[in-house]
Amino acid sequence: MNNILNNLNVIHNRMIKACKKANRAKEEVRLLLATKTVEPNCINFALEQGETLIGENKVQELKQKCHSVKEKNPEVHFIGHLQSNKIKEVLKWVTCIESIDRLSVAEKLQNKLAQENKQIDIFIQVNTSFEKSKFGVAPNETIELIKNIAKFKNIHIKGLMTIGLLSSKSNEIRKCFQLLKKIQKEVIALNIPNVEMSELSMGMSKDLEIAIEEGATIIRVGTAIFGDRIYPDSYYWNESDKS
C-alpha cells in the first residue's frame, strides 16, 4: 500500500509539472485509475487517498469490483471493448462509456437505455495510431459516426478517447494526441445537436505528459500506480469480438 501511496504522489506531481509546462491549471485534468486486474483492497486504498474516478475494461471485473468499492462511491467509467450482450450489466455500474466505436453497439445501447428509461454519457474511441490491433473508429469515419449517434436521445456524447501508439518515439505518440484534438475541434465547429466535446481522454502511465500538453482532460493510469499486470495488454485490447 505504501507503494500505491508513493506512486499516486509521483503521478500527481507529474500531472502538476505537465500542466505547468502546458500553461494549464491542474484542475483541468482528471486522473482516472485504470483498475483492470487490481484487487479491490488496493482500489479502496487509492480511493481513501482522495481519488474519485476509476475505469474498468471487462464486465466481469467491473461487476465484482464495483460491489467491493461501492462504499467509497467512486465515479466509474467503462474503458474496454463493449460487447453488445454485456450492455445491460455495464449500465448497472457506470456513468460513462469511454469506448464506443461503432454504430451497431450504440444502437443496442440506445434500445436498452430507452427500455430502462436511463441516460448515459459516452466518449467516442478513435484509433489514432492506425494500428490494426486497436479498437476505435478510424479517424476519417469519426464525424459520420458522431452524427449518427447524436440522434440517439438517451446517449450523450461528451468527448473522445484514444490509446496512443505504444512506442518509445514521443513524436509518434504526440501525433496521435494531436489528431484527437484536431477531430475534437472539427466536431465542435459542426455544432451538432446533443454533442458536447469537452472531454479528451488520452494519456496513460508512460505518455501522460504528452497527452496533457496536447489537451487531455482525463488521463487513464494503471501500472504506474498499481504496478505491472500479469496479463499482457493484448488480452484487453485485441479484437476477439466485433459484435
Ligand X SMILES: *Cc1c(COP(=O)(O)O)cnc(C)c1O
Distance CA 68, CA 98 (A): 22
Report the nearest approach of ligand X to the CB of residue 193 (Å). Answer: 29
| 100 part of the interface to ligand X, by CB under 6 A | no
The DSSP secondary-structure symbol of 218 reads: E
Size of the site for ligand X (CB under 6 A): 13
Residues 6 or more apart whose CB falls under 8 angstroms from that of 234 comprise 133
Q: How far is the CB of 40 from ligand X (least distance, A)?
A: 17
168-207 residues in contact with ligand X (CB under 6 A) are: 204-205
Rounded to a whole number of angstroms, the minimum distance from the CB of residue 135 to ligand X is 9
- Look up cell 440506445; give the residue: 110
Mask 41-80, x = binds ligand X (CB under 6 A)? ----------------x---------------------x-
Stretch that binds ligand X, among 112-120, 175-183, 185-193, 216-224 (CB under 6 A): 216-224
Neighbouring residues of 39: CB distance < 8 A, sequence distance ≥ 6: none
Site string for ligand X, 220-239 (x = CB under 6 A): xxxxx-----------x---
Region 138-167 residues binding ligand X, contact defined as CB under 6 A: 163
* Rounded-to-integer distance, Cα 12 and Cα 242, Å: 36
Place of cell 494526441: 177
Least Cα distance to 75 among 94, 90, 89, 59 occurs for 94
Q: What angle do CA 141, 143, 148 make, to 5 degrees?
A: 100
Q: Which range in 13-21, 41-49, 142-150, 219-227 contacts ligand X by CB under 6 A?
A: 219-227
User: Which residues bind to ligand X, rule: CB under 6 A?
Assistant: 34, 36, 57, 79, 163, 204-205, 220-224, 236
